[in-house]
Amino acid sequence: SSISTGSRSSPAFQQIIKTTGVLDNNLLVFCVLFSPSDSCEVKLNTNTANRLLVLSEDNRKVTAGREEQPYPDHPERFDYWSQILCRDGLTGRCYWEVDWEGGVRISVTYRGISRRGAGDDSWFGANKNSWSLECSDKSFSVWHNNISTYIPAPPSSHRVAVYLDWPAGSLSFYSVSSDTLIHLHTFTSTFTQPLYPGFWFGFWSGSSVSLCQME
């Protein structure tokens, strides 16, 4: 489902945006209410970046490369998966947007996710500690605990919004196109720890994520 919100700097957005979506096959209507005060300025934690990831634009853009970067050893660095986390754990109501290219997963995870090896315990969306939206030019899919749900609609834009309502146990993803938010999926859970935004990049170079400035 989609709604027209007007410009995100307009009075309509400055009050409240209402978005409704249908969850799974239960025809359960889930209502999300959020305001500009929920906007979060997420920042990348460079100590977590896999060495095949290239940081640019004042550490606001991450691009998957072919050559390892000379990042120092760090216990928080992902040593196999092309992944990176953001700095701050979130426990409130938070809204952020990212631009993406190629094949990526836009994720949140508990801090304790493994950083070592190629197992599911370290891959965003493949374990019980992380939730992901996978984006490609052909489709979207969502992942949690290595279970995926295909979203057949092709991307209408390459900008995604994430809205986390940690106290309510909901995590929603939207496609952002001009002044329209298109609901893609909402996870519901009982979150027990702060959630860290993070990103996974497919096994080809050129995939990228850019953090959007939230006004």
Instruction: Convert the pLDDT of each residue in 58-116 to its tens digit.
Output: 999 999 999 999 999 999 999 999 999 999 999 999 999 999 999 999 999 999 999 99
Q: Do 134 and 154 meet the contact criterion of CB atoms below 8 Å apart?
A: no
Report yes or no: 82 and 52 within 8 Å, Cβ to Cβ: yes
Q: What percentage of the chain carries pLDDT values higher than 90? A: 75
C-alpha to C-alpha distances, 215 to 10, 22, 104, 139, nearest whole angstrom: 12, 29, 25, 29
Measure the CA–CA gap between 29 and 20, rounded to whole angstroms.
7
Distance CA 184, CA 172 (A): 8
Does pLDDT of 22 surpass 90?
no
pTM to 2 decimal places: 0.85
Short-list 122, 162, 113, 168, CA closest to 140: 162
Confidence of residue 30 (pLDDT cuts 50, 70, 90): very low
Of the candidates 47, 38, 41, the one whose C-alpha atom is nearest the C-alpha of residue 19 is: 38
Nearest to residue 153, comparing CAs of 164, 167, 142?
Answer: 142
What mean pLDDT do residues 7-36 have?
Answer: 41
Find, among 170, 106, 159, the residue nearest to 133 by Cα.
Answer: 106
Beta partners for residue 171, in sequence order: 164, 187
Domains and CATH numbers, the chain: 2-211 (2.60.120.920)
